[in-house]
Amino acid sequence: MSSSESTRLLGNGGHAGHKSLPFTRRIVDCMKGEGEPSWEESFKFFIFGTWLNILLVFVPLSFISHNMNWDVGLVFCFSFMAIVPLSKLLGEATDQLSVKLGETMSGLLNASFGNAVEIIIGVAALLNGQLRIVQTSMIGSILSNILLVLGCSFLAGGLYRKEGLFNDTGAQASASLMTLSCITLVVPAAYASTTDPGMENYCSNPDECPTAGLLFISRGTAILLLGAYCAYIWFQLKSHPDLFIAPSSKNDDVTVALSETDETEPRMGTAAAGVALLLVTVVISFCAEHLVTSIEETTAQYPISKAFIGVILLPIVGNAADHVTAVWMATKNKYELTISICIGSSIQIACLVVPLLVIIGWIVDQPLTLHFHNFETIVFFVSVCLVNLLLMDGKTNYLEGLMLLTLYSVIGLAFWVA
């Protein structure tokens, strides 16, 4: 060890006299890493980094309209629009925070916060006893990802090139887990519809007082799905990561593009990104609360159903940022990223968010189950089947995107009159 190194260590807290830097100085040094952007630079990028932040004007409007008892339609619209830029900021903060955490921790962080808006909206609805909104919004988020976003991505990519290629093995692995989650929703519906214990009704609304057997099945399945999701994360990040990389033998350009895209440019300090993540999460929770509490009166005063709000509108809010990113990646011929965003996000909702909400409902004594209405279960099942068929060959074109969008449009029409 050189003399200069020894001198610096002693001066900053060596054994001589046990002197050390002031506590506040050490906190500051910890809060701002070496070579990272300053707090001013970080929040300047965070607030002015995208034109979408213009919509942040709806955040104060959401609070004002809620507290001043404005028309419930205005409360719903303002809260709806406020969550759009907030979800983008949440994704940006998560992405910046993951820059220095390494591949594994980055994957876990993105898995945890990738659907944070859905979790916040779901918990807010759950605590307000809006169990149908919880169920329809979760189904809607999955359908939005695998039909609307994936369909738009395939269609947009097909307009730029005749055919898009991706790793069919990794895509099928993800689609298989999605199929498993779909089957786990069929089982509670079959139990409730075909068995004598399942068909016992203790009140006029079975959703609010499910049978003990249905609760047992749902809560047990939720725990098993969480285990399957943890195994999937390990499979994707550790044991078989090569299955989720575009094969160079098929398309060298995709492999190069992916390696370039995976490198996120650090525009925020780690501590600043963490603080921003916390602040945005808190603001989203308030806006989600305003949105959820206004749904009941909105559906009563205006010709719009709870089912349409849950399945169509709320998922668009929660996944607005991811929607744009997935389509943009497809136009750049980066289908591995597109499929990772669409299918990966759907798996997070089906195997992480939904089971988590069931368990939270168990804790707070809200009888949320995995028994979705038969119509929703059938719609989910046929949607997953179509996506599986289109991903089998590792190729895509604009016609496949049009198929997905057509099915989503038909589902939207059905839920409008549901």
Strand partners, 164: 396
pLDDT score recorded for residue 204: 56
| Three-class secondary structure of residue 39 per DSSP | helix
Residue 21 within any structural domain of the chain: no
Residue 16 within any structural domain of the chain: no
Residue 79 within any structural domain of the chain: yes
C-alpha distances in Å from residue 406, one per residue of 52, 364, 385, 402: 28, 39, 15, 6
Cβ pair 83, 103 in contact under 8 A: no
Residue range of the domain that includes 46: 35-416
Return the sign of the alpha-carbon dihedral for residues 58, 59, 60, 65.
positive
Residue 342 within any structural domain of the chain: yes
pLDDT score recorded for residue 10: 41
Which is it for strands 395-396 and 164-165: parallel, antiparallel or unpaired?
A: antiparallel
**Alpha carbons 6 and 178: distance in angstroms, whole number:** 57
Give Cα 92 distance to the centre of its chain: 13
Return the sign of the alpha-carbon dihedral for residues 84, 89, 95, 101.
negative
**Alpha carbons 390 and 250: distance in angstroms, whole number:** 18
Classify burial at 116, counting beta carbons within 10 Å of its beta carbon; exposed 0-12, middle 13-18, buried 19 or more.
Answer: buried
| Structural domain count, the chain | 1
| Three-class secondary structure of residue 395 per DSSP | strand
- Sorted by sequence, the CB contacts under 8 Å of residue 341 that are 6+ apart come out as 145, 149, 322, 325, 326, 329
pLDDT score recorded for residue 57: 93
Classify burial at 1, counting beta carbons within 10 Å of its beta carbon; exposed 0-12, middle 13-18, buried 19 or more.
Answer: exposed
Residue 62 within any structural domain of the chain: yes
pLDDT score recorded for residue 403: 94
Look-up of token digits 């790793």:
167
Reported as a single tens digit per residue, the pLDDT across 373-403 is 888 889 999 999 999 888 888 888 899 999 9
**Alpha carbons 163 and 118: distance in angstroms, whole number:** 33
**Alpha carbons 133 and 126: distance in angstroms, whole number:** 8
CATH number of residue 155's parent domain? 1.20.1420.30
DSSP codes joined into one string, 162-187: S-EE--HHHHHHHHHHHHHHHHHHHH
Counting as low any pLDDT under 50, the low residues of the chain are 1-21, 23, 26-27, 30, 103-104, 249-262
Strand partners, 107: none
pLDDT score recorded for residue 304: 86
Residue 269 within any structural domain of the chain: yes
Q: What is the token pair recorded at 5?
A: 């190194």
Reported as a single tens digit per residue, the pLDDT across 233-254 is 888 777 877 766 655 544 444 4
pLDDT score recorded for residue 163: 84
Residue 27 within any structural domain of the chain: no
Residue 7 within any structural domain of the chain: no
Nearest to 61 by CA among 85, 84, 77: 77
pLDDT score recorded for residue 224: 94
Instruction: Identify the DSSP state of 201.
Output: -
pLDDT score recorded for residue 249: 41
The 10 Å Cβ neighbour count of residue 281 is 18
